[in-house]
Structure 1
Amino acid sequence: MATSYSLRTLLLVALSLYPESLVAEPGVLGLTFEKRRADPSTLPPSRLRKRASSAQATLYNSQGALLYLVNSTVGTPGQNIGLQLDTGSSDIWVPWAKSTVCTAKGSVCSSGSFDETKSSTFVEYAAGEFQIGYVDGTKIQGDYVNDTFSIAGASIKNMTMGLAKKSSSPNSSGSSPFQGIVGVGFDNGEALYSQSQGQTYPNIISQMVAQNVISVRAYSLWLNDLSATQGNILFGGVDDAKFNGNLVVLPLQVDSDSGIIDTFTVTFSGLEIDGNGGKTVYSVNSTAPVILDSGTSLTYLPDDIANAIIGGVGVINSQNYGYIVDCNVGNTAGIFKFKFGNANGPVIAAKISQFVIPFDPSLGAAPKFKSGATACQWGILPSGEDPNLFGDTFLRSAYVVYNLDANTVALAETNFNVKDTNIKQITASDAIPGATSTASGTAVQTHSGQISQTLGGFTGGASSTVASATSGTFDLGTATSSASSGSGSGGSGKTNGAGQLSPPTAFVGTIFTGVAVLVAMLGGSVMLLV
């Protein structure tokens, strides 16, 4: 029979389950992922393999569902569950196989769920005490549990997790999407921290160190190009074949509300945009705090900067399609140079194509402007009253080393689409391989709200409203091909003058009928599910 503990004793129980030092030497845990434009239900089964000293697993990014899914197993014997890997949160939670959500007709638990009665190592900690709320009104409730958690061939014993039994939303009929998460943020980003006066348990990164899987609470992230099929996450290591130049270390910033470092917040010091002929078409200085978060699809900048870019590029805010732009803009000469820290800080150059996102072709034909040009989604939006947040549209161009032990991140420009690897273990928190300098610069994170914007911007069914186009003010040059990232044909190959949107077709009303925006209260991550 499962043993149940109160929430107050959860911390003590979790700490008592730390194993003694294992025989194996710590190393690097690597996860290679594939990016797919598909519903999570179409994702292939787990594939595990080992190569050299790094265990390799498969992490799937579905651009249709906007998730990076890591194949994991929970329990003994292991039950396969696809979980979203998220730098903006800190808990692991898995859907309960017997929940109403998972057993209902048309179940949205297609990435897997967990049945505790089939695991010989399952322990229940605190029944009904796991709770996470989201800004759209969705609430996830369940139990704190303990079991074996495995990824990339490495088994983490005695892992504390949430077993999610209920999902409720005021905007649904009771079948909210139920996609589990493996959070790799700070321990103090856990749901328990805010519910129990600062208590935490050792989350997955802490357990990896405690069980000698890795030496330092650090990992590196390489999302790769928008159109690429593979990327990589390395726990406890750096792959210097995946970035250009040297890594530059940035100090993480203290949250003004909590008074601690609990997010991957760094100082954004400015932006330069180069256009036609390499000429600068926009430049701005800044001292804004920004959060680096792989759990968010888009990039959210201070309103004045984001709106200047939107006007300069010729982006339209459509009632039915959100922020959209002529796909041909992605084939112009635009280069965005993001600056961080002080004058000696890193500069990450990103091609404009990384912010021009084709609509998922599996959902139907992409919308077009009246001129015939194909519309794409735009990947930089104003943050409003919410935190400034650098999501996947920026992170694809940056190789990022998240160092929780040193309270730093290290940045370098991504080396796209390379097949070579040169993996080096991180053996000390103050000695990141490939890092040659440390930048300074401070910015206080004052926003405590959560990001609620969505990729796609659909607000409901089809509408007869026709959005008017505006001509961008940036001279980005002439597009070099007909459409960005295989988004389809159409358009004149020009950057401006897209015309007006054609009236929405019938497919519009169904594209995002099943979309629910789940924005974690902890870490400000965004999860969009189709």
Structure 2
Amino acid sequence: MRLSSLILPILLTKVSNSLPLISNDEQQHSIKSKGYVKLNTQKYQGSSFKDSDPDYETHYIEKRSDNGTVEMVLTNESTFYKVSLEIGSDKQTVDVLVDTGSSDLWIMNSNNTYCESSSDSNKLRKMFRKAGRSNDSIKNWNTESNGGSGEGGGDPFGPTGDATSSASSVEATIDCSLYGTFDPSSSTSYKNNGSEFTITYADDTFAQGWWGYDNVIFDDLEIKSFSFAVADETDSEMGVLGIGMVGLETTYSGNSYSGSPYTYQNLPTKLRDEGFINKVTYSIYLNDTNSNSGSILFGAIDHDKYTGELSLVPIINTLESSGYDNPIKVEITLTSLSLISSSTETTIGSGAAAALLDTGTTLTYVPSNILSSIVDSISDLSYSSTTKGYVMSCDSASDYTLNFNFQGSDIDVPLSSFMLSLTTTSGSSSNYCALGLYSSDDDSFILGDSFLRSIYFVVDQEDYQIAFAPVNSDSNSENIETITSSIPSATSVSAYSETWGSAYTELETGSYGTTSTNVNKGTSTKGSSKSTSTSTSSSGSSSSSNSGSSSSSKSEGVSIKLSSVSMMIVMIVSMMFVMM
């Protein structure tokens, strides 16, 4: 035996023994001294939580039916950003989805009545493709008799009890081992406060159980006595970390909450009250399409993650008529939407519409009249009035950009960001792509990940403001500045006071005309200068509110089927089309 093989372990032992041990209190003090908390997220894609993977991408895949036709079925259509938590005295590991469209943390109980063994789990499960609190689940205070006035209306920490679920027997449909569950009985520090929890999301998934509190570790940060719900009945395979405003907490605005309404310290407010951050703010960087990671900064902004200038807009209160004095959802005002090609610019709609920024939603949803107008304005799209779906050459999509104007500040997003690729069962890629914009079924917009990947945005929940700028997808460093008062380097938009509800509550479509322009395409810019000639075309630019009206001018060689119930999108194309 060589002498060095004996000496090396001895040296390593002496070195390790001489290293100073850092206590948990010292570690927490170190985090507090920075003034911000960073959570790294990992992006997963799949048709369900069960079959998701960081390396998957959303696309259509060819499937042949018995009658010889070819179906193009959307797969990996759902994107979610997850973080890992350690909970309780025994540090049980649970993965949760990060959602700006809700405000509560809930995790799955190990006794969830929907759980089945992994060996039996072979059913296709839906996931939070359209997350965020369902509007139907939000309380209307003008019709409620139980009152309540925010802080202090109830006690999230008492009284403790041994409440158990009275859920009826349900069919076991999900593999609960995929992302971890929590067993309250194995944590000596867990306390159940005996309050019921219920939440419903926009895609009809739900969770119900009981409120409690325990110690929770986010990366290296431990928060003691943190309030969260343990769901012993849910049809989702993953819990949710909601980081929205406290007014959206189910204990305050939930229709199904039967107790005295109150707000509590969710993650952003708890971080401020515990001294880890100075203000209830966070900034979000989802990175580009090809990346499988992102990050959330609580209490700070990273100036390296955006380009140009930060535009500051107010968060709007779309629920004032329901008795809410302040905004409870992360919504801003969209004043116009335009379609720009290499030679023309067409106004799709203008006015003032509510736009929800929702990291829990994969795709982007727009009013049906806006969707129809976009389709009418793109001659390259093939359209089926029967099944309401659109495809075009992937190369043609690169010629178009959608311009979103937020009270005077522009964000240009390439149309390709909203297109979904087509892939055959053999693995080869088609030259055609499908349009990934869908109807929101009302006058509002839900700007999901397909839009949010194009911007870097900062949410100030105390002053009800949002700052945003085009994302720097090439960022490989950090330039972090803590937020102590107003958002650093953010400038108010030119039409700051012209918000949703002041004159308009929607984007109106009409015959705005098409102008010739020399705008360069392919990049996301803010406040770009659009040089426009004096020539105007009066034809081919009018917007139609009836999606079926464009069927006569669109090719019927492709038939697409969209199911609003299951949110699974099926596109039927002829054999001749696929072989092209």
TM-score with structure 1 setting the length: 0.69
1:83 to 2:83 alignment = no
Within 2, Cα distance between the matches of 1:415 and 1:136? 31
The match for 2:223 is 156
Checking the alignment, whether the CA contact within 8 Å between 1:26 and 1:212 is kept in structure 2 is no
Aligned-partner SS, 1:66 = strand
Checking the alignment, whether the CA contact within 8 Å between 1:340 and 1:347 is kept in structure 2 is yes
Aligned-partner SS, 2:346 = strand
The match for 1:323 is 389
Residues 445-504 of structure 1 show CA distances to partners (whole Å, capped at 9, x for unaligned) of 9999xxxxxxxxxxxxxxxxxxxxxxxx99999xx99xxxxxxxxxxxxxx987634899
Q: Give ranges in structure 2 of 5+ residues lacking alignment.
A: 1-24, 55-74, 122-173, 506-513, 523-552, 570-580
Residues 52-111 of structure 1 show CA distances to partners (whole Å, capped at 9, x for unaligned) of xxxxxxxxxx95542111122221222111111000000001011122223444243211
Structure 2 counterpart of 1:412, from 453, 469, 485: 469
The match for 2:413 is 350
Within 1, Cα distance between the matches of 2:498 and 2:308? 21
How many pairs does the alignment contain?
413
Letter in 1 for 2:80: L
Alpha carbons of structure 1 residues 337 and 40: separation in structure 2 relative to 1, 3 Å: same
The match for 2:188 is 120
Structure 2 counterpart of 1:92, from 95, 105, 112: 105
Structure 1 counterpart of 2:358, from 276, 293, 303: 293
Alpha carbons of structure 1 residues 409 and 435: separation in structure 2 relative to 1, 3 Å: same
Alpha carbons of structure 1 residues 514 and 442: separation in structure 2 relative to 1, 3 Å: closer
The match for 1:213 is 276
Letter in 1 for 2:432: T
Shift of 1:298: 2.2
The match for 2:266 is 203
Checking the alignment, whether the CA contact within 8 Å between 1:403 and 1:409 is kept in structure 2 is yes
Letter in 2 for 1:90: S
Within 2, Cα distance between the matches of 1:502 and 1:382? 18
Residues 176-214 of structure 1 show CA distances to partners (whole Å, capped at 9, x for unaligned) of 333200000011101111334541111111111112222
Letter in 2 for 1:88: G
Matches within 5 A, 1:97-496: 97-104=110-117, 105-106=120-121, 107-109=174-176, 110-126=178-194, 129-134=196-201, 138-167=205-234, 176-194=235-253, 195=257, 196=259, 198-254=261-317, 255-256=319-320, 257-259=322-324, 260-277=326-343, 279-313=344-378, 314=381, 316=383, 323-326=389-392, 328=394, 331-341=397-407, 345-358=408-421, 373-376=431-434, 378-385=435-442, 387-428=444-485, 430=486, 432-438=487-493, 439-444=496-501
Shift of 1:327: 5.2
Within 1, Cα distance between the matches of 2:53 and 2:557? 40
Within 1, Cα distance between the matches of 2:386 and 2:90? 49
Shift of 1:117: 2.0
Letter in 1 for 2:237: F
Within 1, Cα distance between the matches of 2:80 and 2:478? 25
Letter in 2 for 1:297: T
Within 1, Cα distance between the matches of 2:481 and 2:205? 41
Shift of 1:338: 0.6
Matches within 5 A, 1:497-512: 500-501=557-558
Alpha carbons of structure 1 residues 27 and 385: separation in structure 2 relative to 1, 3 Å: same
Letter in 1 for 2:184: E
Shift of 1:232: 2.2
The match for 1:13 is none
Checking the alignment, whether the CA contact within 8 Å between 1:30 and 1:234 is kept in structure 2 is yes
Shift of 1:299: 2.1
Within 1, Cα distance between the matches of 2:431 and 2:515? 19
Letter in 2 for 1:301: V
Shift of 1:280: 1.2
**Higher alpha-carbon Rg:** 2
Shift of 1:440: 2.9
Identity of aligned pairs, percent?
26
Within 2, Cα distance between the matches of 1:189 and 1:413? 28
Checking the alignment, whether the CA contact within 8 Å between 2:50 and 2:237 is kept in structure 1 is no
Alpha carbons of structure 1 residues 445 and 86: separation in structure 2 relative to 1, 3 Å: farther
Q: Give ranges in structure 1 of 5+ residues lacking alignment.
A: 1-18, 46-61, 168-175, 449-472, 482-495, 517-530
The match for 1:70 is 83
Matches within 5 A, 1:13-92: 23=29, 24-25=32-33, 27-38=35-46, 40-41=49-50, 64-92=77-105
Checking the alignment, whether the CA contact within 8 Å between 1:354 and 1:394 is kept in structure 2 is yes
Letter in 1 for 2:82: L
Q: Supply the RMSD in Å over aligned alpha carbons.
A: 3.8
Within 2, Cα distance between the matches of 1:139 and 1:149? 23
Shift of 1:353: 1.1
Checking the alignment, whether the CA contact within 8 Å between 1:34 and 1:231 is kept in structure 2 is yes
Within 2, Cα distance between the matches of 1:271 and 1:503? 25
Shift of 1:323: 3.5
Shift of 1:231: 2.5
Residues 420-451 of structure 1 show CA distances to partners (whole Å, capped at 9, x for unaligned) of 221111122x2x12213353321139999xxx
